[in-house]
Structure 1
C-alpha cells in the first residue's frame, strides 16, 4: 500500500511526497519494499533529496518551537491545577502534508502536543514536574525518604493519593525508586492502569513505555494494584500489568535490570526489533528496521551508551544489513 502511495504521477508536489515519506518511514509500518521504493525516489534527482532534507528540517523547527514555548512558560508563575488526563490529539498525515503547517502557529502547537516517535519532547513532557531527554539520566528526591533514578525519555508528575500522601505518576519511561528505612508509609507510584507501592527500605524498577507496565522488585517489599487484583512482587521477579490484568511473576537477573544505571544495555537472546526499539530511546534520531527477517534475528549483546552512535555499523557488520543514513539521525536498516 505504501509503495503505491509514493508512486504518484510526476505532477505531485515533491515537498508533500518528502513529508509523506518522513512520516511513513518513522511510523513503524514501513517494509523492505518501501525501503527500495524510497531509495529509488530519493535517487531520482537532487530536487528529491533536497525536498527530503527540507522536510526533516521542518520537523526540527517544530521541535524548536515546542522548546521555545516551554522556555516562555517557565518565566511565568507556575500554577498547578488538578491534573486531568484527556486523550491528546494525534497528528494526521493530512495535517503535515498541508502546505500551511510551517506558517501556522496553531499547527505548530498541535504537532508539539504529540511529536512523531520522540523526535522531540511533546508539550506534555516539557510541562512535567520532572523529565529526561533522549539519552539523559538523572536522580531526583521526589519526597522525604524517596529517591528516584530516572532513565532516558522519562516523564514524572507529582500528585497525591486518596489519603493525601505525596505520590508520583510515571507518565512514561522508566524509573527506579529507592526508599529509606525511616519511611513511615509505603510510597505510591501511579503508572498506566494501576499503581505500585514501595515499602520502606526497598527498591523497585517501574517501566511504562507501552501498553504494559513492568514492575521489578530489586529489594525489600513491592506490591502492585490493577483493577481488583493486588499482587506482592518478590525480590528478583518481574510482574507486568495492563488492560488485560496482571501477568504471572517471572524470575529475572537483577544485574541486567540495573545495567542502565551504569549506562550499559544488555540484551540476552532478544529479537533485533526489540533491541532497536530500546536503543532508539537512547540515541537522537531513529533507527528503522525495514526487513522482517532481520528484525526477527536473536541478539546477545552488551552496549555502552556511548557506543550507540555506531550501532548501525555493528549490525551491518554482524548481519550483513544494508545501511541508509538520512538527515536528522534517521538510519534505515534492510
Structure 2
C-alpha cells in the first residue's frame, strides 16, 4: 500500500476550508449551507485561518488558469460558456465570509478542476493525491482505493451491504459466496452475488466495471450485463455498453503503482497523470490532441515521464504556482 508523497496529505481543517471555498465560490449556496459555514468558521480560530489560506491558494490557481485562457482561444470560449451557465449572485457572500481577506481573484468555478467536488463531502473514506488505501468491511470484503477516490458506505439495518463510489477507482474482493455486495456509481451499480473480484472506475460521469474473477452483474436503467472474468462494461447517465473482453494486467496496473498506455491519445494520458500528481498538467494546442502515447509509467516517476513526453513531442513547458504545468 502506498502513502502520499513527501509533501504529505493536507490537514483535515484545510481540506474542509478548500471545500467551503469551492462551495461558496460556486454561487449555489442555500441559506442552511450559509449558516453551516458560519458555524464552522466561528467554531475555532484555526478554521478562519485555514479558510483564508485556502482562498489565497485559490487565487494562485486562478492566476494560472487566467494565463492559460489568455493564450488559448478554445479554452477561453469554453470558460465563457461555463461562466454563462453559472450563477454569480452569491459571490458577495464569499467576500463577507472571508472577513476582509483578499478575494478579487476568486472565480465562480473550480480552477482547473483541482479542488474537491461538493459531491465528495459525504464520503466515509477518501484518498489523497498519490495515495492508495486498503479497507476491510466485516471481514468478508476487502477494498483497495486508488488515488483521489471517495467512498460512502451503504448499509441496510446496520449491516454493510455495499459502497457508493463518489469519485475515483476501487478494487473489491468479496469472499462470502452466500451474500451479495454492491458498488453504486453514477446511474448504475455493480453487484457481486457470490465470491468475486472486480474493479469500478467512476470519473467525469462515466463508469467502467471490470470483472477479474467470479461473476459480477452491472445494473443500469438502460439494461443489465452479467460479466465473467476478464470482461468489462461501460455506462454513463444514459446508456450502457455491450460486454467487452479486457486485459486485466492493464486494468489493474494501478495496484502495482503503474499506468499502462497503448496508442492512447496524449490528452487522455495527461488526464490520468493528473490523478496522481499534485497540481495540474494542461495541454495547449489542438494539433497535439491527435498525438498518441504507448508507455508504461511508474507513478513514482511521473515527473521523469513528463520530461520524456516533452522531448518526444518537442513540447514547450511553462510552470506556474500550485504545481501547474502547461505544455504547448
Q: Taking structure 1 as the reference length, what is the TM-score of the superposition?
A: 0.67
Inter-partner Cα distance in structure 2 for 1:92 and 1:290: 28
Q: In 2 relative to 1, CA 224–217 (structure 1 residues): closer, same or farther, beyond 3 Å?
A: same
Q: In 2 relative to 1, CA 162–318 (structure 1 residues): closer, same or farther, beyond 3 Å?
A: farther
Deviations 1:234-276 (A, max 9, x none): 2212211122221112221100011100100000111000000
Cα contact 1:290–1:333 (8 A) shared by 2? yes
Q: In 2 relative to 1, CA 318–19 (structure 1 residues): closer, same or farther, beyond 3 Å?
A: closer
Counterpart residue number, 1:22: 64
Question: Of 180, 203, 206, which aligns to 1:212?
Answer: 206
Cα contact 1:177–1:204 (8 A) shared by 2? yes
Whether 1:156 aligns to 2:142 is no
Q: How much does 1:169 deviate?
A: 0.4
Secondary structure of the corresponding residue to residue 309 of structure 2: helix
Q: How much does 1:153 deviate?
A: 0.5
Question: Of 260, 281, 291, which aligns to 1:287?
Answer: 281
Counterpart residue number, 2:163: 168
Question: Of 92, 97, 100, which aligns to 2:95?
Answer: 100
Counterpart residue number, 1:263: 257
Q: How much does 1:143 deviate?
A: 3.5
Inter-partner Cα distance in structure 1 for 2:100 and 2:180: 45
Q: How much does 1:144 deviate?
A: 3.4
Q: In 2 relative to 1, CA 321–155 (structure 1 residues): closer, same or farther, beyond 3 Å?
A: same
Counterpart residue number, 1:146: 141
* Equivalence map 1:75-86=2 (5 Å): none
Counterpart residue number, 2:30: none
Inter-partner Cα distance in structure 1 for 2:151 and 2:73: 39
Inter-partner Cα distance in structure 2 for 1:288 and 1:25: 11
Inter-partner Cα distance in structure 2 for 1:97 and 1:321: 41
* Equivalence map 1:120-139=2 (5 Å): 120-122=115-117, 125=120, 127-139=122-134
Cα contact 1:149–1:176 (8 A) shared by 2? yes
Cα contact 2:61–2:322 (8 A) shared by 1? no
Cα contact 2:141–2:173 (8 A) shared by 1? yes
Deviations 1:30-89 (A, max 9, x none): 864589xxxxxxxxxxxxxxxxxxxxxxxxxxxxxxxxxxxxxxxxxxxxxxxxxxxxxx
Deviations 1:144-171 (A, max 9, x none): 3011110011000011369976211001
Inter-partner Cα distance in structure 2 for 1:122 and 1:105: 25
Q: In 2 relative to 1, CA 30–269 (structure 1 residues): closer, same or farther, beyond 3 Å?
A: farther
Secondary structure of the corresponding residue to residue 275 of structure 2: coil
Q: Taking structure 2 as the reference length, what is the TM-score of the superposition?
A: 0.69
Cα contact 1:135–1:152 (8 A) shared by 2? yes
Inter-partner Cα distance in structure 2 for 1:99 and 1:140: 37
Which runs of 5 or more residues in structure 1 are unaligned? 1-16, 36-89
Question: Of 220, 228, 231, which aligns to 1:234?
Answer: 228
Which runs of 5 or more residues in structure 2 are unaligned? 1-58, 76-84
